[in-house]
Amino acid sequence: MSTTNFFNFSFLPKYLSLFVQGIEYTLLLSVVSVCLAVLPALFLALMRLSKLRVVRAISGIYIAIFRSTPLLVQLALVYFGLFNYIRVPTVRIFGFINLAMFIPGVVALALNSAAYVAEIFRAGILAVDSGQNEAARSLGLTAGDSMSMVVLPQAIKNVLPALANEIITMVKESSICSTLGMVELMWAAKTVAATTYITIGPYVMVALAYFCINYPASKLIEAVERRMRRGDKR
């Protein structure tokens, strides 16, 4: 069978375990990155809504930088720049995750994701009716208590679907970490292609793997959104 055939999967019996590891690595990398991005993103969103111009400017500059520069550049700066001074021990967990590569990758993805999640949080906060905040203040709550006890719980409910979509986006963007040699899906495809000289099949396999992860997840998110909308109508 031709090495350029789209349906040449003769490599699978020997290299299936490598693709399975790639899926596990990709999911772990994506979920951990978005989870780490949530708290900084919330602070950035609150800073964007601050009445202090300097605070708004700091948050705005961060978001502008990370949304306006390529993720590949950010990954290189974090890995070769920041982690040139912060030494991470070369320790393997689960047998194939090298912390010296995994942690810089997670940090770079989290810093990038925080810029996008911050805007998601800001939109969610602004979507809460201003009367909610005014009612809370009229009951004697401080501005901080009003935000944490009244506005934020409603905002978080509004942004949950968008946060889930961010994880799906991160699953796809994590493929860029293959440039550092992380054993994720794209790295598995490149390794198999270079070893077997089957140039198309491994990438078709990876495309199918991403589709099987992201498409069902997106449908599940749509179902949750519909359920939440029905609950709001009641």
Domain boundaries, the chain: 12-233
Secondary structure element (H or E) that encloses residue 93, with its range: strand 92-93
For residues 39 and 42, give the distance between their C-alpha atoms in angstroms, rounded to a whole number.
5
CB 188 within 8 A of CB 177: no
Q: What whole-number percentage of the chain has pLDDT above 90?
A: 28
| The Cα angle at residue 61 between residues 49 and 151, in degrees rounded to 5 | 20
For residues 29 and 171, give the distance between their C-alpha atoms in angstroms, rounded to a whole number.
8
Is 90 exceeded by the pLDDT of residue 223?
Answer: no
CB within 8 Å of 200: residues ≥ 6 apart = 3, 4, 5, 6, 8
pLDDT (tens digit, 9 = 90+) per residue, 58-84? 999 999 999 999 999 999 999 999 888
Tokens encoding 146: 């009003």
CB within 8 Å of 47: residues ≥ 6 apart = 55, 56, 58, 59
132-158: average pLDDT: 70
Backbone angles phi, psi at 83, to 5 degrees: -85, 10
Dihedral over alpha carbons 79, 118, 59, 151 (to 10 degrees) = -150
pLDDT score of 74? 93
For residues 108 and 89, give the distance between their C-alpha atoms in angstroms, rounded to a whole number.
18
| The Cα angle at residue 99 between residues 94 and 104, in degrees rounded to 5 | 140
CA atoms within 13 A on the CB side of 12: 9
For residue 144, the one-letter residue type is G
The whole-model pTM stands at: 0.84
Secondary structure element (H or E) that encloses residue 97, with its range: strand 97-98
140-162: average pLDDT: 73
pLDDT score of 4? 63
Q: How many CB atoms lie within 10 A of CB 71?
A: 17
- Options 3.50.50.60, 1.10.3720.10, 3.90.120.10, 1.20.120.420; CATH for 12-233 is 1.10.3720.10
